[in-house]
Amino acid sequence: MSSEDKEAQEDELLALASIYDEDEFKRVDSAQGGETRICLELPQNFKIFVSGSPTECLQNSGFEYTICFLPPLVLNFELPPDYPSVSPPVFTLSSKWLSRAQLTALCKHLDNLWEENRGCVVLFAWMQFLKEETLAYLNITSPYELKMCHQEDGQSRTSLFPVNSELDCCGAAGAATAQEEILDERAVQDVESLSSLIREILDFDQAQQKKCFNSKMFFCSICFSEKLGSECMYFMECRHIYCKSCLKDYFEIQIRDGQVHCLSCPEPKCSSVATPGQVKELVGEELFARYDRLLLQSSLDLMTDVVYCPRPCCQTPVMQEPGCTMGICSRCNYAFCTLCKMTYHGVSLCKITAEKLMDLRNEYQEADEATKIFLEQRYGKRVIQKALEEMESREWLEKNSKACPCCGTPIEKLDGCNKMTCTGCSQHFCWLCMGSLSRVNPYKHFNDTSSPCFNRLFQAVNVDGDFWAAEDED
């Protein structure tokens, strides 16, 4: 290697390292060579269209995607000792989304660029051509078509080409086989299958968009400050942007209050909702677990065929079979009635606890005829009637009696003085102030001048036009 060639190579590699970042240019330490990853500048609203072959069953076949970035072209090169004075760089050009025919055309153009600049360093010119002119040179426009091609030997070759491409190498199987003879060995198509290609394109596009977002400045309309995109987050649907600190406080308050469906964009009248991944990124593990649990529970509550195990220590969701009132918990194996939540009782009527009689009575009185018939079939007419009668009795007692201050037994005063004796526990008490009286001298309460009921032993109390009178047991 002449000193001039060595110096030119070193200067070129140093220049490339200073122009491009590590993601775009990497120098190999073991030899005079390296790798460049060239991302093309795509026009706005660039689309790719997925179309599989008739023998393929792809879930995302027939879909169109709008992307901002495609996976890079990879140019691996090694500099011969007599470069650039005599020989060009030795290289391979690979891509995940170009056919080998398209890559062959690019390889030939790189050779032409070398011939035009023989004796001079050429790597920068190659990289600029690939970055800025590949789409125009290959006559590539939106939309692209992702398509799997098949050879006569049964092997598959994945190619991506535009609808109006003049370099369509995926025609008849015979034509594809004939083209193998003229394809450049330096052209490498780095793809396993159409489904993996789609996944890699979409993942790369998302990663690059996030990288660009993180490097820009954005204004948060909550804290009224400008922050880097790496400190911000945007809602997927509306693209409104806020800083992570403000959204974190906002999400945590809503989750603690149990409002897991209210994690929406703070912009007025905007209905965009944060994704679970965004929530997980901002809040701690404990709060996210609560959010995840409440979100699942609220979703299950909307499903008419899902009930919960009534055991307080379990509460596992249970699928209910249509037309069946029996539920069996998959966790604790408890068999229960899905109507009354008690132990499964077969065709017998549902039993109801005393605490729920009032609810049943209110539900029955407010129900339409169809619902009343359903309740009568579920609990029985006698239970319904009992609930109505018991509630009427309770209302009458609340209106016409007072509870003993000692045992709570309802006491009705018909006549007599205001010194009462409970029929349940025999405790003496005052009907006026409901205070307990001495068993030895119960009348002292009415004779003591300091008592609030002094000289009121026979005073009647008028309530709603009726006179309450106490039975005098003297």
Q: What are the tens digits of pLDDT across the range 286-306? A: 888 888 888 777 766 666 677
Cβ partners under 8 Å of residue 39, min gap 6: 24, 69, 70, 72, 131, 208
Q: Is residue 79 part of a domain?
A: yes
Q: Residue 284: what pLDDT?
A: 85
Predicted pLDDT at 353: 64
Q: Is residue 245 predicted with pLDDT exceeding 70?
A: yes
Reference 474, options 410, 425, 420, 402; nearest CA is: 420
Domain presence at residue 210: no
Q: Select from 381, 399, 417 the last residue of a domain.
A: 399
Instruction: Judge if 175 and 86 occupy the same domain.
Output: yes
Q: For 191, phi and psi rounded to 5 degrees? A: -150, 140
Would 29 be classed as within a structural domain? Answer: yes
Top pLDDT among 373 and 101 is at 101
Percent of the chain whose predicted confidence (pLDDT) is above 90: 29
Kindly state whether residue 100 falls inside one of the protein's structural domains: yes
Instruction: Judge if 78 and 187 occupy the same domain.
Output: yes
d(CA 91, CA 316): 62
d(CA 184, CA 109): 12
- The pLDDT-based confidence of 465 (bands split at 50, 70, 90) is very low
> Is 324 among the residues known to form the active site?
no
Q: Does a structural domain hold residue 148?
A: yes
Same domain membership, residue 468 and residue 358: no
Q: 418 with 443, same domain?
A: yes
Assign 104 to helix, strand or coil. helix
Terminal C-alpha separation, the chain: 133
Q: Averaged over 219-238, what is the pLDDT?
A: 91
177, 205, 233 - which closes a domain: 205
Q: What is the pLDDT of residue 459?
A: 83
Per-residue DSSP letter, 343: B
Distance CA 373, CA 337 (A): 19
Look at residue 110 and tell me if it is in a domain: yes
Residue 8: pLDDT above 60?
Answer: yes
pTM of the predicted structure, to 2 decimals: 0.54
Confidence of residue 354 (pLDDT cuts 50, 70, 90): low
Average pLDDT, the chain: 81
pLDDT of residue 470: 38
Inter-residue contact 145 to 62 (CB < 8 Å) = no
**Per-residue model confidence (pLDDT) at position 300:** 67
Q: Residue 142: what pLDDT?
A: 87
Instruction: Print the domain residue range for 253.
Output: 217-301
CATH, residue 268: 3.30.40.10
Among 417, 422, 430, 453, the one annotated catalytic: 417
> How many domains is the chain built from?
5
Query: Do 280 and 159 share a structural domain?
Result: no
**Predicted pLDDT of residue 297:** 74
Residue 58: its pLDDT value, please? Answer: 46
In a domain, 187, yes or no: yes
State the DSSP code for 64.
E
Identify whether residues 383 and 417 lie together within a single domain: no
Predicted confidence (pLDDT) at residue 162 exceeds the cutoff of 70 = no
| Least-confidence region, from 246-260, 383-397, 441-455 | 383-397
Distance CA 302, CA 225 (A): 40
Compute how many other C-beta atoms are within 10 angstroms of the C-beta atom of residue 41.
10
Same domain for 175 and 50: yes
472 and 457 share a domain? yes
pLDDT digits (tens, 9 = 90+) for 29-49: 777 899 999 999 899 889 988
Bridge partners, 421 (sequence order): 428
Give the CATH number of the domain where residue 153 resides.
Answer: 3.10.110.10
CA distance 141 to 48: 10
Q: Are residues 175 and 53 in the same domain?
A: yes
Whether the CA torsion 27, 33, 34, 36 is positive or negative: it is: positive
Give Rg (Cα) of the chain: 42
Choose one of 364, 380, 399: the last residue of a domain: 399
Residues 290 and 333 in one domain: no
Q: Is residue 212 a part of any domain in this protein? A: no
CA distance 155 to 157: 7
Which residues on neighbouring strands pair with residue 243, listed in sequence order? 232
Q: Is 428 in the same domain as 449?
A: yes
pLDDT of residue 151: 44
**Using CA atoms, how far apart are residues 145 and 97, in angstroms rounded to an integer?**
10
Residues 139 and 108 in one domain: yes
| Strand bridging mode 90-95 / 187-189 | parallel
Residue bearing the bigger pLDDT, 159 or 438: 438
Q: What's residue 56's pLDDT?
A: 45
Judge contact between 422 and 429, C-beta under 8 A.
yes
442: CB partners within 8 A, 6+ apart: 419, 428
Confidence class for position 81, pLDDT limits 50, 70, 90 = very high
CA gap 396, 376 in Å, rounded:
25
